[in-house]
Amino acid sequence: MARADYTKKILKRVLPPILALAFWVGVWAFAAWRVGVPFVLPSPDSVFSVFFHLFATKELYLTVLRSLLSLLVGFVSGVAVGILLAVPSALSKVFDSLISPVFTVIRATPVASFIILAWVFLDNGILPAFICFLMTAPIVWSSLSEGIRALDPALFEVTRVYRFGFFKTTRLYLFPMLSPFLSSGLSTALGLGWKSTVAAEILVHTPDSIGYMIWDARAWNIDTAALFAWTLVVILISILFDGLIVLLFGKRSFSPVKERRKNDA
C-alpha cells in the first residue's frame, strides 16, 4: 500500500510537466507543419535529431566548458562582491545611499548596452565573464541586504543568552534565516548571468563558445535546426542550475530554544 501511495505521489509530480511539455511540442509540430518552411520554423524531430547528435560530438562538451568557465568566473566574483557590499549596506544607511544608485543604474541599463560599451575596453574572451559579473552582483547584493534587514533581533539575543559561538550562530541561525533570500537571489542571478553570458558571446563572437555556435548557425550556416538545438542546450543547462540551487538551499527553520533543549538532552 505504501509503495502504491509513493508511486501515485511521484506520478502527480512528474506527469503534469511531461503532459505540458508534450502539449507544447505538439503545438510546435503543428505550427512547423503549417508554416512548411524549415528555414523559418524547423520541426521538432529535426531539432531533436541535431540536439541528440551534439551529445555524440566532442565539440559540444568543449564548447559548453568554455561558456561555463566564463559563467563561473563572472558568477563567483559577482556573488563575492554582492555579499561583501550587502553587509555594510544593510547596517549603514549612509553606505547604502552611496551604493544603491550604482546598482540601480546597472540593473536598469540594457544588457546589450553594457556588452557594446565593454567591448571597446575588453577582449571578447573575457567580456562574457565581465557581463555576468555585472548582472550577478546587484541581485545578490539586493537579496542579501533585504535578508539581513529582516533578521529578528530577538532570536539573535537568544543565541547570545545560550552563548553560541560565531560559527554555531552562523550555522544554526544566520544561514537558515538568510538561506531563503540567498536561494532566491542566487537562482535569479545565476539564470540572468547565464543568459547574459551567452548573449555576450553571441554579440562579440567569443571563439569556441555556445554563443558563437548560435551565431554561426544563423549567420553563416543558415541552419535554423542547429540554432534551436544549441538554444535547447542553453535551456537545459539553465534548468540544471535551478535544480542545483534548490539542492543547496532547501527550506530551513531554526529555533534557538529547541536547539538548546536538544543539546541539553
- The per-residue DSSP string of 13-74 comes to HHHHHHHHHHHHHHHHHHHHHHH--TTTS--HHHHHHHHHHHTTSHHHHHHHHHHHHHHHHH
d(CA 238, CA 187): 10
pLDDT tens column, 48-73: 999 999 998 998 999 999 999 999 99
Share of the chain above pLDDT 90, in %: 48
Question: Would the pTM of this model clear 0.95, i.e. be above it?
Answer: no
Which has more confidence, 124 or 260? 124
Amino acid at 127: L
pLDDT tens column, 164-209: 776 666 666 677 778 888 888 888 999 999 999 999 999 999 999 9
Residue 172: predicted pLDDT: 66
List, in order of start, the domains of the chain with CATH numbers. 44-264 (1.10.3720.10)
Share of the chain above pLDDT 70, in %: 83
Torsions phi, psi of 207, nearest 5? -60, 145
